[in-house]
Amino acid sequence: MQNKNLICMEPVYKAQADKLQEKILKTEKEAEDILEKICFTEILIRNFEKEKIEPKLKKLEDRLNNLKILLGMKSKSEKKYKKENEKNTDEENLKSIYRKLAKAYHPDKNASASVKNFYCERMKEINLLFSKKDINGLKRILRKSFLELQNGDSNLFRMEKLKKILEEAEEEKRFYSDKMDEVLKSARYKATKMKEEELKIFLSEKEEEIKREIKIYSEIFYSSLKKR
């Protein structure tokens, strides 16, 4: 009797699952929009710093960076970045994951008419990530694929899986919202809104801050020379 009821409810569960898929896409799009705003604001900050901050502080920052290089600090971080970058651009791994996702999400091969839009949107996202060589983004979708694809499951089970994905999407959206708030409250962003006199004070404080760092690293450097 219970199985019969479940079978009768399948169309209802399917409709609910399809709605969940649409909601997931909407939430992910909202998260992407917030991320885009973060990137735009970061670019705005960076351009401001290049134009207004760096010309004033460049000599001091170069001196500080040279000290860090002499102490072996900067080269280590650069090696770490290079290693991570090489890992993220592993062509073979990238292509392998892309092929798996393309096979799983291709709308013409997998999607019924009711969920075709979901598959189309997901495939667009996959293609975009592949074009950017964003292997971490593709891995994220691959992890989700085990939950959001039906794979012969009942629509009730599919619906439960989609609820988990929606929770993740909402969590991601909250994360980006918090990040956006952090950016807007940051000293770097506030500097872009400063008037001329305020900016002079800000630059003066930054100069003093860098000078203090230079003094610390200089002492460390000369101390290391004495020990040789």
Q: What pLDDT is recorded for position 37?
A: 94
Q: What pLDDT is recorded for position 3?
A: 47
pTM for this prediction? 0.60
Q: What pLDDT is recorded for position 103?
A: 86
Q: What pLDDT is recorded for position 148?
A: 72
Domain spans of the chain, in order of start = 2-57+78-193
- CA–CA gap between residue 50 and residue 57 (Å, rounded): 10
Q: Write the pLDDT tens digit of every residue in 177-216.
A: 999 999 999 988 998 999 888 888 888 888 898 888 888 8
Q: Which residues of the chain have pLDDT under 50?
A: 1-4, 6, 75-76
